[in-house]
């Protein structure tokens, strides 16, 4: 099946790309990320059953599904945390073989996992630059290995401001003194700052209150406005329908279809997710 180049389509038409069951597959040359036929088994359990995914430039793609549907396994296979048994992953149209999360990070993919990987005792700036610490210039950095703390604080502050994060102001504040939502904002800001291809957010609002959830959703819109695509894994249907361009519905290790907030209601999405309804085969 041939798919028109997304660049030839109007925004409305672009929104129609990759919908249905099975989703109309794009040419990987037109996507930021494409996965084809991903399979992963754990003994007799099928984690991924030949899954295809496309992520288009500048979009928010949500992945929803019941417990055990294969969302985490899919994300892990896309970000080097797990090596699929078979299938292909393309980044900017070129096939990649990630062997570790570090491989995916080096390629410009940043993931914020459900279990927040922040270092509580360190300050915000140190968390932003965790694993990417900058040394001072000249012999102070090269010989004495001194860190460029003022520079990192300044840049951390700028990144936060660029993303419209107003609730976190003092970059010298230890992360353990922040609220859950502020910690999440630091983790998401770090991902948005260093990603060059796309950001993956795994249940970023699961542990947050209403106001803090709103702030994270805002942050997702800011990342999108920067032109970075986002993959969002979430069980929260209102959140998903608020921020997504397209919604990939994982089910029983496969994909039950791809919809949009305009094409389906949250109730219909849940029905597809649970198998109560099936999308017409495309
Ligand atoms: N390391 C593993 N060993 C054995 N089975 C696994 C492993 N990881 C995942 N599975 C199985 O693969 C299937 C998909 O799991 P996965 O964690 O991807 O689902 P999920 O959609 O992310 O679920 P949840 O919403 O509960 O996090 C499940 O049946 C799960 O038990």
Kindly report which listed range (108-112, 187-191, 244-248) carries the lowest average pLDDT score.
187-191
Distance (Å, whole) CA 102 – CA 114: 18
β-pair partners for 63: 233, 248
245, 59 Cβ separation under 8 angstroms:
yes
Q: 70 CB under 6 A from ligand 1?
A: yes
Residue 244 CA, ligand 1 centroid: distance in Å: 24
Q: 236 CB under 6 A from ligand 1?
A: no
Q: What is the pLDDT of residues 114-127, one digit of tens each?
A: 776 788 889 999 98
Q: At residue 193, does pLDDT exceed 70?
A: yes
Measured CA to CA in angstroms, residue 114 lies from 6, 83, 170 at distances of 32, 20, 25
Q: What is the pLDDT of residues 222-236, one digit of tens each?
A: 999 999 999 999 999
Distance (Å, whole) CA 281 – CA 22: 6
**Residue 104 vs residue 134, higher pLDDT:** 104
DSSP-assigned states of every residue in 213-250: HHHHHHHHHHHHHTT--EEEE-S-HHHHHHH-SEEEEE
Q: At residue 245, does pLDDT exceed 90?
A: yes
Domain 6-118+179-274 = CATH 3.30.360.10:
no
Mean per-residue pLDDT for 6-12? 47
pLDDT of residue 120: 85
29, 7 Cβ separation under 8 angstroms:
no
Share of the chain above pLDDT 90, in %: 56
Q: At residue 247, does pLDDT exceed 90?
A: yes
Q: What is the pLDDT of residues 13-45, one digit of tens each?
A: 445 578 888 888 889 999 999 999 999 999 999
37, 50 Cβ separation under 8 angstroms:
yes
Average pLDDT over the chain reads: 88
Q: 49 CB under 6 A from ligand 1?
A: no
The segment(s) of the chain belonging to CATH 3.40.50.300 are 6-118+179-274
pTM, whole model, 2 decimals?
0.89
Mean per-residue pLDDT for 171-186? 86
Share of the chain above pLDDT 70, in %: 93
For ligand 1, pick from 39, 40, 62, 70 the residue to mutate: most ligand atoms within 8 Å of CB: 70
């Amino acid at each position: 099946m041939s798919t028109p180049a997304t660049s030839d389509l109007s925004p409305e038409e672009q929104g129609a790309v990759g919908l249905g069951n099975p989703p109309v597959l794009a040419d990987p040359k037109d996507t930021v990320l494409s996965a084809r036929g991903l399979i992963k088994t754990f003994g007799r359990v099928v984690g991924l059953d030949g899954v295809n995914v496309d992520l288009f430039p500048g979009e928010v793609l949500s992945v929803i599904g019941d417990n055990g549907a294969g969302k985490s396994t899919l994300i892990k296979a896309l970000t080097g945390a797990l090596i699929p048994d078979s299938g292909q992953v393309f980044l900017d149209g070129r096939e990649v073989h990630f062997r570790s999360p570090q491989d995916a990070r080096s390629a410009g993919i940043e993931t914020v996992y459900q279990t927040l990987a922040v270092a509580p005792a360190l300050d915000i700036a140190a968390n932003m630059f965790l694993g990417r610490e900058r040394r001072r210039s000249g012999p102070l950095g090269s010989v004495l290995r001194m860190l460029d703390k003022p520079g990192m604080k300044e840049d951390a502050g700028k990144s936060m401001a660029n993303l419209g994060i107003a609730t976190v102001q003092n970059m010298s504040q230890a992360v353990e003194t922040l609220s859950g939502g502020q910690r999440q904002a630091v983790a998401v800001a770090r991902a948005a700052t260093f990603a060059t291809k796309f950001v993956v957010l795994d249940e970023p609002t699961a542990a947050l209150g209403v106001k803090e959830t709103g702030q994270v959703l805002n942050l997702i819109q800011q990342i999108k406005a920067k032109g970075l695509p986002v993959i969002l894994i979430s069980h929260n249907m209102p959140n998903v329908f608020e921020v997504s361009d397209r919604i990939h519905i994982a089910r029983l290790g496969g994909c039950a279809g791809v919809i949009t907030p305009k094409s389906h209601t949250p109730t219909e999405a849940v029905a597809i997710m649970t198998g109560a309804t099936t999308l017409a085969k495309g």
